[in-house]
Chain A
Amino acid sequence: MNFMIVRRAAVYLSLSIATFISIFPFYWMVVGATNESRDIVTGKSTIGTNLVANFQNLLAQVDLAQVFWNSAVVAIAATVLTLAVSSLAGYGFEIFRSRVRERIFQILLLLLSIPFAALMVPLFVMISRAHLSNTFTAVILPTVASIFIIFYFRQATKAFPGELRDAARVDGLKEWQIFLYVYLPSMRSTYAAATIIVFMTSWNNYLWPLIVLQTEDKKTITLVISSLTSAYTPDFGVILLSTVLATLPTLIIFFVLQRQFVQGMLGSVK
């Protein structure tokens, strides 16, 4: 009995510590957004009164509407296109198997291990020769065929019952109709999970937009936050406020799709 209590206490204690570690940075970020830079520096960790002033300072430095519009265009377009292209590919790799395709898939998985920084320079040359430098297309295009998402959809497709396809075939559906009317609706939670992953990756993408976007009017939120940190004496209140604002869209997407996300990660098929 005593042992059980100790065990429980230990479990709760370690969970509390883990919770604290994951929650505290968020708490610090939100609280920091309401404080003056000077207070943040001295470690003030209670809600302050400087939120409005921070917001005004941010607006004075940044065209917030434009920046959010840029980030939204990039993230939404990237999400829609990536899901369309990569889910088709993942489905195809799993359903229409052949030895050659298996080889191609293995090569793709190998490519996953090459860091982006190594591909950046040749990719930039390509984009620029195609006259796409400083366009959103240049930001979105290289992410559309995402190997990770292809892999993810292939794994999820393994749980897609062959009987459903057979039944659809008997009913006279063509292959693209099977994908669109049978596969897609039954994989909703997989799509939801992929939406969160792709949207978050795209929204938070930093290195590639940094290289390929050149003018102020094209900057996405990550680039703007980076430029806010450029001063020799940074205004931490403004930086943390912009970080809070930048976190909101991904948080909203996550909470809206949370249930499906968990199911999607578990690989269930409805």
Chain B
Amino acid sequence: MNWEEFMNLFASRWSRLLGTTMAGVGMLTATAVSASELTVWCWDPNFNIPAMTDAGARYTKDHPDTTFNVNNISQDDINQKLQTQLLAGVTDGLPDMVLIQDDNAQRFLQSFPGAFVPLSDSIDMTKFASYKVAAATYEGKSYSLPFDSGVGGLFYRSDYLEQAGYGADDLNDITWDQLIKIGTDVKEKTGHQLLSMDYNDDGMIIMMMQSTGQWYLKDGSEPNIVDNAALKASLEAFQKMAQAGLVKSITGWTDYTGSFTSGEVAAVPQGVWITGTIKSQPDQSGDWRVAPLPKLDGVDGATHYSNNGGSSWYVLASSEHTDEAVDFLKTVWAGDVDFYQGILVNQGAVGSLLAARDGDAYKASDDFFGGEPVWQNFSDWLSKVPSVNYGTFTPEARAAVQAQLPTIANGGNIDEALQAIDGQLRQQIQ
């Protein structure tokens, strides 16, 4: 008797015992769900939840039979629940759609083949930023409807830079080395450090690296550390900045946001989603600008375009309403440009649908950023972000890199650090 049969036997006995009394409760909830209610799991009540709710409302208007039930479950909780239930092969508790962070997606796609509906079969994926589609592509099919982008930009205080004699043109098309030069001057003239960084977060390193099309992993599974020229150049640039005293070392997210909302540091190289936090200080309106990210020096394929973070929608194959779910994503998320204007204005969400930039909200200029058309710029950059394969071991790789960041900041040997990262990563993915 194998495990499966054993479990069946045990469970059926048990259900006879308890099921008679308790199953009634379970059935009751099962039938209470209306035939066309789509359940969605996502996590931020200020961001993806209202965006999904709005999308749902738009669909329900034309399809009154389809309603939406958007649940607030934290990202860690979603991962835990999905993993356990897919592992158990039990799907009755799973939702119809779920939001998954891009660098975590391959893990699910590869560990649980068949668990998600291949959306590229019915939705034209060329409408979206290609690097977002690549993040959810496995064995030739793409499984996600790309949602928010983490396209990167260099947010900076134009007033500080002006005091040091730099204007907006001095930040266009520069390299990290040139930025270090500017940062040094700004620090001398104004006393403000260039940027802040939590040494437990390698967000800046991955943005530098992805801007060249490189990643911690080769083909998604093999460590790409020791011979990764882009990673080496990124760590070198970081070390130079730290050694020049341009990096304010902070701990935790609140410290991080505090370091620029308080006006302490002069620049924030970050994904577009930080815009809301930067704009949370109305008194700094007009002081901020956004430049493209600096380029890495001396690395093949170096660009000004990169990404940090972002997530996408997935349809679970176990859903009883996959057709409706796919049609909903196709109609609203892959077609409604007007919808994208709404979530940009209301939630500050920069979607990945390239056509969204033709809407009014994307064309508007923003006085907070000195009247620059920031959204047009970001959507320009969005389409040019190099694709990388996040693979299955990105969290392990990031942890290994983070472990070395303090040593590197203190002037440690980069080659040795790369060896140590490689060692830790290989040990973890054995």
Contacts and interface: CB of A to CB of B under 8 A. Distances in A.
Contacts of B257: 41, 233
Interface in A177-202: none
A135 B25 contact: yes
Range for the number of chain B residues in contact with chain A: 35 or more
Given A125-B11, A129-B15, A232-B46, A227 B77 contact: yes
Contacts of B80: 207, 210-211
Dominant secondary structure of chain A at its interface with chain B: helix
Residue among A129, A133, A223 with most chain B CB within 10 A = A129
A128 B92 contact: yes
B27 A125 contact: no
A134 B37 CA distance: 18
Interface in B1-45: 7-8, 10-12, 14-15, 18-19, 22-23, 25-27, 29, 43-45
Interface string A207-246: 1001110111000000100110111110000000000000
Contact of A130 (B11, B88, B254): B11
A60 to B, nearest CB: 10
Given A130-B19, A137-B18, A210-B80, A121 B88 contact: yes
Nearest to B23: A131
B46 A121 contact: no
Interface string B330-359: 000000000000000000000000000000
Contact of A131 (B10, B26, B254): B26
A129 B12 contact: yes
Interface stretch (B67-75, B113-121, B200-208, B392-400): B67-75
A124 interface: yes
A141 B11 CA distance: 14
Interface in B237-256: 254
Given A133-B93, A134-B26, A122 B7 contact: yes
A136 to B, nearest CB: 8
A28 B261 CA distance: 24
B273 interface: yes
A128 B87 CA distance: 13
Contacts of B15: 129-131
A266 interface: no
A188 B29 CA distance: 40
A108 interface: no
Contact of A126 (B14, B43, B75): B14
A132 interface: yes
Interface of A: 41-42, 61, 120-122, 124-126, 128-135, 137, 141, 207, 210-212, 214-216, 223, 226-227, 229-233
